[in-house]
Amino acid sequence: MGYRESINLAMTKTTELERMEFPFATEFVTNRRGQISKVVLDFRHYRALIEAVEDAGLYRAMKQVAKEKPLS
């Protein structure tokens, strides 16, 4: 069995429950035990995910300094 065949075989072992946990994923790459090790995303979903992470970080930073007085 070649590398490609083992990847394809491992990808077919992904359970439907795991697919429901990651609805944005287009592909899963699993290890030999059938656990997801990598997720392939559509680029549009990737950009939306990055934007959401950045927005969450900005929100946390704004919340931390909300009660501080301006320096000027």
Q: Domain map of the chain by residue range?
A: 3-65
Ramachandran quadrant class, 10 (left: phi over 0; alpha: psi -120 to 50; beta: rest): alpha
What would the two tokens of residue 19 be?
A: 């697919």
**pLDDT per residue as tens digits for the range 39-69:** 888 999 999 999 999 999 999 999 999 989 8
pTM: 0.56
At 41, phi and psi to the nearest 5?
-115, 150
In residues, how long is the chain?
Answer: 72
- What is the rounded distance in angstroms from the CA atom of residue 21 to the CA atom of residue 69? 43
